[in-house]
């Protein structure tokens, strides 16, 4: 960060802090925003009247326990190998995690890109490779391209158990939920780079809440918070703004959207700690059902309530009702080394971000 950027951030923060007369709540939806806000110490720069709360933008955190149970069920098949990104390993199902299954000798392999999954299937033709495809619209086009490549190259031992979620229905769910008060919203830049601005316009148009699509640098975040505060206090009119135009166009990424429409269709899904949100899932459409692990192996993902341990507040953290430091387990019984709830597992989880960058009880 340059000295000029530091000066601008300092001036902007001073103006914001001086302008506020009452408490306001701003939600950042994206898990990367949650991480960056903690990393840059932005909460500590702002006056206590500004409450930054997190939304359900960490894909690992909202992956339902029934999905993990289904992956573990697949491991009971002798010729099945589960391929997954590392963050998912420690997420618990009803009673177990993939990490624990791996320690028992089950076939669980950590991958780092979709290309790794393709190569794994090509090298192990005697095994059925099931990829745990978890994420939002950000990663869905990559998975769609991988599925189309598998079909084009006649790869028949690669399957996908999907837990792909759509952001707009989740935002609508939160804004329509009683007991959750939001004055302004920082919308996810990564998702918007794919979808464009249309999924987020309703925040302002329908719910009359100031909203910005934001980048991930300190200046991006501070500038966007300043814009939201000025709207909330009435200094400027309420309007939807895209402050991340260097990466987000109004219409989004047409090639990525085309891939998603070719491979997926919309369905309902259970969000861990939140419940069923209608039309919030992307699942394989009929043209690609041969790659659907749930159909190939006769799986049913049970939408059961998340079994959070005693006094775990992750369900409230995920919808911005509480912050991590309000949980009695935070930083004592629950740490990244020994996570109790899912929000402490991934670096994009609100609890892990709070803890990792000096958060604690206030």
Question: For residue 139, which phi and psi values (nearest 5 degrees)?
Answer: -100, -15
Q: Where are the domains of the chain?
A: 24-182+248-354
Is a pLDDT exceeding 50 seen at residue 74? Answer: yes
**Which letter does DSSP use for residue 220 in this model?**
H
Average pLDDT, the chain: 94
- Rounded CA-CA distance 216/221 in Å is 7
Residue 304's pLDDT is 67
Q: What is the mean pLDDT of residues 203-216?
A: 97
- Rounded CA-CA distance 224/244 in Å is 10
Burial of 7 (0-12, 13-18, 19+ CB in 10 A): exposed
Write the DSSP string, 72-92: HHHTTSTTEEEEE-GGGGG-B
Write the DSSP string, 225-261: HHHHHHHHTTSS---EEES-TTT--TT--HHHHHHHH
Nearest to 148 by CA among 341, 4, 310, 284: 284
Nearest to 134 by CA among 63, 43, 233, 54: 63
65 with 307: CB under 8 angstroms?
A: yes
Nearest to 46 by CA among 24, 70, 66: 24
- E-strand ranges in 136-263 read 158-165, 184-187, 211-213, 240-242
Q: Helix, strand, or coil here: 160?
A: strand
Q: What percent of the chain has pLDDT over 90?
A: 86
Q: What is the mean pLDDT of residues 199-212?
A: 97
Residue 360's pLDDT is 47
- E-strand ranges in the chain read 24-30, 50-57, 80-84, 108-110, 128-135, 158-165, 184-187, 211-213, 240-242, 264-271, 275-284
Quick: pLDDT tens for 269-303. Answer: 999 989 999 999 999 999 999 999 999 999 988 87
Is a pLDDT exceeding 60 seen at residue 346? Answer: yes
- E-strand ranges in 136-225 read 158-165, 184-187, 211-213
- A 10 A CB-CB count for 150 gives 24
Q: What is the mean pLDDT of residues 326-355?
A: 93
Our measurement of the distance from residue 97's CA atom to the centroid of its chain's CA atoms, rounded to an integer in Å, reads 19
Residue 234's pLDDT is 94
pLDDT confidence tier of residue 362, bands split at 50, 70 and 90: very low
- Rounded CA-CA distance 22/239 in Å is 21
Q: Helix, strand, or coil here: 352?
A: helix
Task: Tell me which fold the domain 24-182+248-354 belongs to.
Answer: Rossmann fold (3.40.50)
Residue labelled with tokens 């491991």:
75
152 with 206: CB under 8 angstroms?
A: no
pTM to 2 decimal places: 0.92
């Amino acid at each position: 960060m340059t000295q000029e950027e530091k000066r601008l951030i300092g001036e902007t923060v001073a103006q914001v802090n001086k302008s506020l007369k009452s408490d306001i709540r701003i939600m950042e939806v994206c898990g990367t925003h949650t991480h960056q806000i903690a990393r840059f110490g932005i909460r500590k720069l702002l006056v206590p009247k500004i409450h930054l709360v997190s939304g359900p933008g960490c894909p690992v955190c909202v992956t339902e326990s029934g999905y993990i149970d289904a992956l573990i069920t697949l491991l009971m098949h002798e010729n099945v190998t589960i391929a997954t990104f590392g963050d998912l390993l420690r997420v618990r199902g009803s009673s177990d995690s993939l990490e624990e299954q791996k320690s028992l000798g089950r076939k669980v392999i950590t991958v780092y890109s979709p290309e790794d999954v393709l190569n794994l299937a090509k090298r192990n033709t005697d095994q059925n490779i099931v990829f745990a495809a978890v994420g939002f619209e950000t990663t869905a086009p990559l998975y769609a391209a991988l599925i189309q490549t598998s079909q084009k190259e006649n790869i028949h031992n690669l399957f996908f158990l999907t837990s792909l979620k759509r952001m707009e229905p989740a935002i609508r769910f939160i804004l329509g939920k009683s007991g959750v008060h939001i004055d302004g919203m920082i919308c996810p830049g990564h998702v918007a780079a794919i979808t464009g601005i249309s999924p987020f316009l309703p925040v302002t148009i329908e719910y009359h809440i100031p909203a910005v699509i934001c980048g991930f640098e300190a200046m991006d975040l501070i500038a966007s918070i300043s814009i939201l505060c000025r709207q909330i206090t009435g200094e400027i009119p309420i309007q939807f703004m895209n402050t991340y135009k260097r990466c987000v166009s109004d219409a989004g990424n047409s090639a990525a959207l085309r891939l998603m429409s070719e491979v997926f269709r919309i369905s309902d899904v259970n969000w861990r700690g939140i419940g069923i949100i209608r039309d919030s899932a992307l699942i394989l459409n009929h043209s690609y059902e041969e790659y659907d692990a749930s159909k190939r192996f006769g799986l049913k993902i049970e939408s059961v309530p998340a079994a959070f341990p005693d006094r775990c507040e992750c369900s409230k953290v995920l919808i911005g009702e509480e912050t991590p430091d309000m949980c009695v387990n935070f930083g004592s019984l629950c740490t990244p080394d020994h996570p109790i709830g899912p929000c402490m597992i991934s670096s994009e989880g609100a609890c892990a971000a709070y803890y990792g960058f000096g958060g604690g009880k206030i």
